[in-house]
Amino acid sequence: MMMAMSLPLHLSLARSGACFLLLSLLLLLSGCEQLMPQPTVHTTDTAIGEAARPSLQSPHLALGNPSGATPEPINFDNFLIIGNGLVISYNNSRGTANWVAWRTSLSDLGDNLARPRFEVDPRLPKNFNLIQHRDYSGSGYDRGHLVPSADRFGDAALNAETFLMTNIAPQTRSLNQYPWQRFEAYSRGLVRRGNDVYSIAGVYGGSGRLRTRVTVPTNFWKIMVAVPAGSDLYSAEVVLQVVAVDMPNVPNIDNSAWQDYRVTIAELEKRTGLRFFAELPVSLREGLIELSRQR
């Protein structure tokens, strides 16, 4: 006959204590699971939940990274620069940006600042084609801003960033001072009327070189998305306006309105070879593209 063995008293108490501790821990975890708020994801045509948002490297990239730029130094012609007031895809072969993205809020605007000097961008790798102010001298072209200086009058340091040569491209005086400037002013007017504006602007094509170092683009383009101030692109209940323009970099267009150069997002994608809003949720991307068709 086999006889059951009884544990010594101190071991029996230890086992009972361990069981009680384990049971208490399980009850505690169960209670925490009930008390911990569970995430609720709301995805509609006008508001995108947290789970659907892309992971942004910068708030200025809310419209996405249309060329898939990366910050590896070997990526000569699609090199990503994440600045404080803008994000740039730089093209070393062209000596200009492919595109620049930024957000403008009311706090970014202000009174005129003293004009900074144009400077080489120190964020470029040392083996890159470092464009300087003098590369434009005597060319007949303006040093055209992609992010306007006036979009950063609210902060002197951010304004100086717009004068780095990576934000500059050769622009005819007629384009720079007339239809392009008028569209910039229109965008700031939306900001002053209580909106935030997300923009992305760039260049394409070539019609010569400055000192064999800088490609003169045939076209300047820009996309502007306006939402109510304080709401980001994904939580905004209303996207107020989506405007895309593609302007020729030519003389004698002083009297042209910026509206003369409106295009749809689909048309701009064909011309530039870029894919806009690619990282956005499908419903939001399709909504923005549809809004760009409205005049």
Mind telling me the catalytic residues? Answer: 145
**Is the Cα dihedral 159, 261, 289, 294 positive or negative?**
positive
What's the one-letter identity of residue 225?
V
For the purposes of burial, counting CB atoms within 10 Å of the CB of 216, is it exposed (0-12), middle (13-18) or buried (19 or more)? buried
